[in-house]
């Protein structure tokens, strides 16, 4: 199994508070991603990173920011959480130079966030 850990795994917070989710990998993979998964929507990309300090927006980036100061860590921040951000958040990694035939994604175990 790919070495990906997410923290916290569960969090309950109140509307308007800041929240940071952390993804840590031990695989030295170049690409890291944050997805959210909601019933009826499937997995949707929030932001991704293609290297240290190199990030870009995904499909549903509004209300989220990210940072990657080290290869192994990718942080997702909700500056002011809203109830619509209640979701399960998955971090994923890939490196087409390693998984050269596919560039497949390896997922972390997910972080369940509830915003009251």
Among 85, 67, 84, 63, smallest CA distance to 76 is for: 67
Is 64 one of the binding residues for other proteins (CB under 8 A)?
A: no
| CB 92 within 8 Å of CB 33 | yes
Could you tell me the smallest distance in angstroms from the CB atom of residue 28 to other proteins? Answer: 16
Q: How many helices (H) and strands (E) does the chain have?
A: 0, 11
For other proteins, the binding residues in 11-40 under the rule CB under 8 A are: 31, 33, 35, 40
Of 80-99, which residues contact other proteins (CB under 8 A)?
90, 94, 96
Count of residues engaged in binding other proteins, rule: CB under 8 A: 27
Q: Is there a contact between 16 and 31 (Cβ–Cβ < 8 Å)? A: no
* 108 contacts other proteins (rule: CB under 8 A): yes
CB burial readout 22-45, b (16+ within 10 A) else e: ebbbeeebbbbbbbbeeeeeeeeb
Q: Which of 8, 41, 54, 80 binds other proteins (CB under 8 A)?
A: 41
**Is 62 one of the binding residues for other proteins (CB under 8 A)?**
no
Q: Please give the residue ranges that form the binding site for other proteins (CB under 8 A).
A: 31, 33, 35, 40-45, 48, 50, 56, 58-59, 90, 94, 96, 101-110
């Amino acid at each position: 199994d790919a070495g990906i850990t997410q923290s916290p795994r569960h969090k309950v917070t109140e509307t308007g508070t800041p929240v940071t989710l952390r993804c840590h990998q031990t695989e030295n993979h170049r690409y890291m991603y944050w997805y959210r998964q909601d019933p009826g929507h499937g997995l949707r990309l929030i932001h991704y990173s293609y290297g240290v300090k190199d990030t870009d927006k995904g499909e549903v980036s509004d209300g989220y920011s990210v940072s990657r100061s080290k290869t192994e860590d990718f942080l997702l921040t909700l500056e002011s959480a809203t109830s619509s951000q209640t979701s399960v958040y998955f971090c994923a990694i890939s490196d087409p130079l390693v998984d050269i035939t596919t560039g497949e994604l390896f997922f972390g175990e997910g972080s369940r966030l509830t915003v009251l």
